[in-house]
A = this chain, B = another copy of it.
């Protein structure tokens, strides 16, 4: 049995997230249908993580097993030909039978895009959060650095999650301005449910004068969801990179 690793990008606007569910169009279902069609087998696809409704991916990884003899190169084009315009297979590689896209993932990078202008952007409204008040990206960047390290991120987790440990290691976190677009980038060994969106909501508390960067460490250490910020909308969030054994696959 061949174990095939795919990297893909998708615009999540029209999907109920990655994971198959009974009453909604999902990315996993679309990939599974395309894989089944090109192999002629009843394929099951396993993803590197779940993503919420409306969340996008510049890179997302998944695997499926097949006996079909088809080159990885050919598979990319066959799959893309059977997927809608908002989902693209970017690369394909055969991996060992034991490889698992979630358990073998060593780190992930997310970005969150904020359109920082009083004027809306007709080309970005499904791919960013509009925030009208002028943001001090350098100040937010300094605050974001407080996320770095191994912490109990209990306060940065939405209800409904059932993980055993809420301790995660953040390797890097930053805020950068590109014109009117302000981008939060965070890389870690794992993320709790809604963790990145709550991180951004907490950064925006600084912009709103509800806290300052010196309180940031305290908010993190408190483990108190009430002290952290709101969960910002899904549409600005992108899974950006997925790493296996130190290497980015995309």
Q: Which of B56, B88, B89, B122 contacts A121 (CB 8 A)?
A: B88
- Which B-chain residue is minimally distant from A125 (CB atoms)? B85
Q: Which residues of B contact A10 (CB under 8 A)?
A: 122
Contact B77 A90 (CB under 8 A): no
Shortest beta-carbon distance, A83 to chain B, in Å? Answer: 9
- Copies assembled: 2
Q: Which residues of B contact A125 (CB under 8 A)?
A: 85-86
- Which B-chain residue is minimally distant from A58 (CB atoms)? B123
Q: Which residues of B contact A159 (CB under 8 A)?
A: none
Q: Which residues of B contact A56 (CB under 8 A)?
A: 123
Contact with B along A55-72 (1 / 0, CB 8 A): 010000000000000000
Interface: A5 (CB within 8 A)? no
Contact B123 A127 (CB under 8 A): yes
Interface: A87 (CB within 8 A)? yes
Q: Which of A115-156 contact B (CB under 8 A)?
A: 118-123, 125, 127
Q: Which residues of B contact A122 (CB under 8 A)?
A: 9-11, 85-88
- Which B-chain residue is minimally distant from A118 (CB atoms)? B77
Contact B119 A80 (CB under 8 A): yes
Interface: A76 (CB within 8 A)? yes
Q: Which residues of B contact A123 (CB under 8 A)?
A: 9, 11, 56, 127
A192 to B177, CA, bound (A): 39
The 4 A-B residue pairs with the shortest CB-CB distance, nearest first, are A85-B125, A11-B122, A86-B122, A88-B120
**Which residues of A pack against B, CB within 8 Å?**
9-11, 56, 76-77, 80, 85-90, 118-123, 125, 127
- Provide 6 A-B residue pairs closer than 8 Å at the C-beta atoms, listed in order of the A residue: A9-B123, A10-B122, A76-B119, A85-B122, A86-B122, A87-B122
Given A9-B121, A86-B122, A90-B119, 7 additional A-B pairs, CB 8 A: A9-B123, A80-B120, A86-B125, A87-B122, A88-B121, A88-B122, A123-B127
